[in-house]
A = this chain, B = another copy of it.
C-alpha cells in the first residue's frame, strides 16, 4: 500500500511552479500506469494555446533539465517538454455507469520556505530542496490524495468510469482552462474538486463553498521609442508615461452597484537608465468581481484604458491574459452527498453542506462550469486542516493525518456515485453525447 506520508514529503521537497511540474507529473504518470489506469498526458491532456501565463522558454527548459537531473523518467517528461504538465488517469469499471471525475492540482509557489526550527518540514527534514520554491498551499497534499485515491479504486469494482485529473498551474489561475479546452471535462457526469485548509480546522468538512470571485489577470506590454533625455527628448515615445497614466486610471475605475469589485496593478516595470527616455514597460493587472458579467466589464475597461494610454503617448502595446477564473456555483445535491459520506469517515467530526469561504479565485471554476454546461453536476469541497501560518506563507504546513481520511472520503464518494443506476436530477445544459 502506498505510503501517503512519504509521498507527500517527497513532493514537498521538490516543489515545481506552474507548467514546470515535470518531476511531479512524471511521478503521477508512472503511478497511474502502474495501477492500470489509461493515462493521457503531455499534449494529449492539455491545449497548448489555452495555457495562460506560460513561463518563458528558458524557465521551462531549466525546470525540465532539473527534473531530468532529479530522476524524472526521460521518456515521460519528453512528452511534457515545453510546459505540457497535465495528467489524466482513466479507469473503466466492470460495468457501464456514469463518469465521475476528481480534480487535483500539483503546482507550488515562488516562496522561500522557512528554516525556523518550529517549521515542521524543516524539523522533520523534508523542507524544499528547490530554494525559493515551496508547496505553501497544500497542493503536495492534493496530489498525494489523488494518487491514494487512484490506488483505492484500482480494483475497478464499480460501474462507470473514474477520471482523475491532475492539473498544472492552479496558482495564478492559469492551467485548468487549458485542460477544459482540450475536452477533458466533456464527458464528466459528476465532478468533485476540493481544497485542504482555507481556515477550516482539522476534522471539519464543507460539502461546497461559495465566495470565489471571477477574475482576470493580464500582462500589458508598452513599447515606445528611446531617446537621449538631454539631447533629444522630443524624439522619445515614453513608455513609462503611458504605463503610469494607465495605472492611475485603472485604479480609478468606479465601484459597481451591481457587484463587489477589486482592481489591482500588481507590477509595473520599465526603463533602463536615468538619461534615456523609457522605451518599454510591462504592467500586470488583476480584476475581480462577484459576477462574471461585472468582471468582464472591468476587463473591458482595463483594456480600453491601456489602449488609450498607449495611443496617448504613441506607443504600441499588447495585452496577454495570464490567468482567469469565474465564480463557482456548486450543486447542492453533490454537496449533501459528500457530507453524508464524510459522516461515515472516522476523524471527521464537523460538517457543513455549504459555507462562504472567501478563498479568492479558483480555476477549477472552468471545469465546474463545463461539466454543468453539459448537464453534469459538480461541487467544490473543503477538507479542514489546522495550519500554523496562512496559505502562501513561508511557514505554511498541513497536518498529515488529513491525507488518509481524505482518501477515504473521496473513495466513498466515488463508490457511491459510480453505480449504474446512480442519477441525480439533471441540470439545464447542452445535450451530451
Given A311-B304, A358-B231: A266 and B275 within 8 A (CB)? yes
Do A278 and B266 have beta carbons less than 8 Å apart? yes
Q: Quick check: is A356 within 8 A (CB to CB) of the other chain?
A: no
Distance between A261 CB and nearest chain B CB, rounded to angstroms: 6
- From B229, B232, B275, B311, give the contact of A308 (CB < 8 A): B311
Given A311-B304, A358-B231: A268 and B244 within 8 A (CB)? yes
Do B245 and A233 have beta carbons less than 8 Å apart? no
Distance between A290 CB and nearest chain B CB, rounded to angstroms: 11
Given A247-B244, A248-B248: A254 and B267 within 8 A (CB)? no
Residues of chain B with a CB closer than 8 A to A213's CB: 230
Tell me how many chains of this kind the complex includes.
Answer: 4
**A360 to B124, alpha carbons, bound, how many Å?**
58
Given A244-B248, A274-B286, A322-B274: A269 and B268 within 8 A (CB)? yes
The main secondary structure of chain A at its interface with chain B is mixed
Instruction: Across the interface, name the chain B residue whose C-beta is closest to A284.
Output: B274
Per-residue interface assignment for chain A, residues 303 to 329, with 1 indicating a CB less than 8 Å from any chain B CB and 0 otherwise: 011001101111000000011000000
Q: Which of A235-243, A376-384, A404-412, A420-428 touches B?
A: A235-243
**A312 to B240, alpha carbons, bound, how many Å?**
17
**A183 to B297, alpha carbons, bound, how many Å?**
49
Do A268 and B266 have beta carbons less than 8 Å apart? no
Q: Quick check: is A152 within 8 A (CB to CB) of the other chain?
A: no
**A219 to B423, alpha carbons, bound, how many Å?**
64
Do B247 and A234 have beta carbons less than 8 Å apart? no
Contact residues of A between 260 and 286, Cβ < 8 Å to B = 260-278, 281, 284-286
Distance between A129 CB and nearest chain B CB, rounded to angstroms: 23
**A278 to B232, alpha carbons, bound, how many Å?**
29
Q: Quick check: is A217 within 8 A (CB to CB) of the other chain?
A: yes
- From B244, B260, B263, give the contact of A244 (CB < 8 A): B244
- From B233, B266, B308, B360, give the contact of A273 (CB < 8 A): B266
**A432 to B278, alpha carbons, bound, how many Å?**
46
Do B233 and A254 have beta carbons less than 8 Å apart? yes
**A286 to B309, alpha carbons, bound, how many Å?**
22
**A286 to B273, alpha carbons, bound, how many Å?**
9
Residues of chain B with a CB closer than 8 A to A257's CB: 231-234
Contact residues of A between 340 and 380, Cβ < 8 Å to B = 358, 360-361
Do B308 and A262 have beta carbons less than 8 Å apart? no
**A211 to B313, alpha carbons, bound, how many Å?**
29
Q: Quick check: is A14 within 8 A (CB to CB) of the other chain?
A: no
Do B266 and A229 have beta carbons less than 8 Å apart? yes
Do B268 and A230 have beta carbons less than 8 Å apart? no
Distance between A361 CB and nearest chain B CB, rounded to angstroms: 7
List 29 A-B pairs, Cβ < 8 Å: A172-B274, A213-B230, A229-B262, A229-B266, A230-B360, A233-B254, A234-B257, A234-B258, A241-B252, A245-B249, A248-B249, A249-B313, A251-B254, A255-B260, A255-B262, A255-B263, A264-B276, A264-B277, A266-B278, A267-B270, A267-B273, A267-B274, A267-B278, A268-B281, A273-B284, A274-B322, A308-B308, A308-B312, A309-B312
- Known contacts A230-B286, A231-B360, A255-B261; 17 additional CB pairs below 8 A are A228-B360, A229-B262, A229-B263, A229-B286, A233-B264, A241-B248, A245-B248, A251-B254, A255-B263, A266-B271, A267-B270, A267-B271, A304-B311, A304-B314, A305-B312, A308-B312, A311-B311
